[in-house]
Amino acid sequence: MNKITRNLAIILLSIFVSAPAAAQEAGIDRSVVMDYMQMQQYGDALQYILPRYDSNSVKDLNLLAYTYYVNGQTNISRNTYQQVLDLDSSNIQALQYIALIYSNNEEFERAVDYYQKLVEINPANYYYYKQMGSIYSKLQQPDSAFANYQTAYQLNNKDARVVSALADILIDKKDYKYADSILNRYLFTDSSQLSIINVAIRSAYNQKDMKRVVSFGDVLVNLHIVSPSAFQYVAVANYYLKEYKDCIKTFEYLEYFKTAPALVKYYAALSYTELHDYDKSNELLLACIEETKSDALGNYYSALGNNFNQMKQYRTAIKQFDTAYYMNRGTYTPYAIATIYDSKMNLPKAAKRYYQLYLKEANNSEDRNAEVDKYVRERLKQIAQ
């Protein structure tokens, strides 16, 4: 390198190093951000965007908010998207991501508010009705869930999740004719979707159409799909039809993948009994007992409940605690459920039942906590007012 070239290089380097103001004026180079995103270097992308974005630019704020989102900083992302809405109240991206963040945090009522705003802007977009249907299902509001899933289906009858969710609700309503019509319509074009087959199996089983249940089981085997929940129905159906060897084959298929649930083992054991192979039947029955007799199972579900509670997935936590209580009755799980309903979800009426259940269990418990007892009794008085 000659002297002139070397001096020029030094001058250029000094310009780049000493010109942050010029970089800010230049704004965001989206190709740079894209490179960071493709490498999943989201923190580096933020470091690049933050000194360069324009707080009055919807485009820049949307990019910043999205980068926060993929970097796992969802609360900051939501607040940034709110800044977008302050500039443009109908911004689709901001409304969608705020709704998604609230939904993921199980703040479902707030999520619905934003999805409803999206529906007002674009009433023909089935996805918003689909999301509201899912939310209302989680809120255990089947009528609202049904209305939204039905609208979503009318707008798009090719979404497997919409079809299966709508059919599930129809089955709960015992409207099997409508449920089967939409399931069969989907299966006619695509017979490989597990979510659709699962619901179709449940519909057939509830209608006691055991041959149809078994036929769907054959489809799953041919597709090499392993679905323990679906094959539970298939095992029962084979036993009901006195197809004992096929019932055992169902067990063996799942057992090959180490996924055979206790119910499938149980019906395989009964089938061996019908075939007078008592040794194999006893072997499976003992395995069923071994799987279900452990007192630790309740503790495992309680631990799951604690984890989901800490993750603010409250309804999932309640389901785990409910299972734990079913397995190991005691004071801890009803009290845990009551406090989630009461302090986390602001549903004191739902909490009341579990506070009362806590007191019932505490009366038969040797390790009851006097302070907790006092709090529960006082809280029940407040709820009753």
More confident residue, 285 or 238: 238
pLDDT number for residue 24: 42
What CATH number is given to the structural domain containing 257?
A: 1.25.40
Same domain for 51 and 26: yes
pLDDT number for residue 110: 95
Residues 6 or more apart whose CB falls under 8 angstroms from that of 232 comprise 261, 263, 264
For residue 296 the two structure tokens come to: 């630790």
Least confident of 99-103, 217-221, 229-233, 322-326: 322-326
Domain presence at residue 16: no
pLDDT of 13 strictly over 60: no
Residues 59-63, mean pLDDT to the nearest whole number: 95
Domain presence at residue 307: yes
pLDDT of 8 strictly over 70: no
Domain presence at residue 9: no
Residues 322-337, mean pLDDT to the nearest whole number: 83
Same domain for 75 and 99: yes
Over the chain, what is the mean pLDDT?
88
More confident residue, 207 or 276: 207
**How far, CA to CA in Å, does 272 sit from each of 112, 126, 248, 288?**
52, 50, 8, 14
Least confident of 45-59, 106-120, 129-143, 275-289: 275-289
Give the model's confidence band at 27: pLDDT under 50 very low, under 70 low, under 90 confident, else very high. confident
Same domain for 310 and 362: yes
- Residue ending a domain, among 293, 312, 339, is 293
pLDDT number for residue 296: 62
Same domain for 173 and 58: yes
Domain presence at residue 130: yes
pLDDT of 84 strictly over 60: yes
Same domain for 254 and 308: no
pLDDT number for residue 292: 67
Contact 148, 133 (CB under 8 A): yes
pLDDT number for residue 271: 93
Same domain for 301 and 246: no
pLDDT number for residue 304: 77
pLDDT (tens digit, 9 = 90+) per residue, 142-176?
999 999 999 999 999 999 999 999 999 999 999 99
pLDDT of 22 strictly over 80: no
Same domain for 205 and 307: no
Residues 339-353, mean pLDDT to the nearest whole number: 91
295-329 burial code (b ≥16 CB/10 A, e <16): eebbeebbebbeebbeeebbebbbbbbbbbbebbe
Domain presence at residue 255: yes
pLDDT (tens digit, 9 = 90+) per residue, 201-218?
999 999 999 999 999 999
CA dihedral 252, 254, 258, 259 (to 10 degrees): -140
Same domain for 236 and 174: no
- Return the closest-CA partner of residue 186 out of 211, 166, 202: 166
Residues 318-323, mean pLDDT to the nearest whole number: 86
- Residue ending a domain, among 171, 193, 219, is 219
Our count of domains for the chain comes to: 3
pLDDT number for residue 309: 85
pLDDT of 11 strictly over 50: no
Half-sphere exposure of 283 (CA within 13 A, CB side): 7
Residues 129-144, mean pLDDT to the nearest whole number: 94
pLDDT (tens digit, 9 = 90+) per residue, 373-384?
899 999 999 998
Domain presence at residue 271: yes
Same domain for 380 and 272: no
Helix 348-362 × helix 332-339 angle, to 10°: 160
Domain presence at residue 93: yes
Same domain for 112 and 39: yes
What CATH number is given to the structural domain containing 185?
A: 1.25.40.10
Same domain for 323 and 272: no
Number of C-beta neighbours around residue 60 at 10 A: 18
pLDDT number for residue 204: 97
- Residue ending a domain, among 187, 203, 219, is 219
Percent of the chain with pLDDT over 90: 69
Query: Exposed (0-12), middle (13-18) or buried (19+): which is 256, by Cβ within 10 Å?
Result: exposed
pLDDT number for residue 6: 37
Same domain for 177 and 317: no
Q: How far is CA 114 from the centre of its chain?
A: 19
Contact 59, 88 (CB under 8 A): no
* Domain range enclosing 37: 21-219
Give the model's confidence band at 294: pLDDT under 50 very low, under 70 low, under 90 confident, else very high. low
Most confident of 157-161, 280-284, 369-373: 157-161
Least confident of 16-20, 130-134, 239-243, 248-252: 16-20
Domain presence at residue 11: no
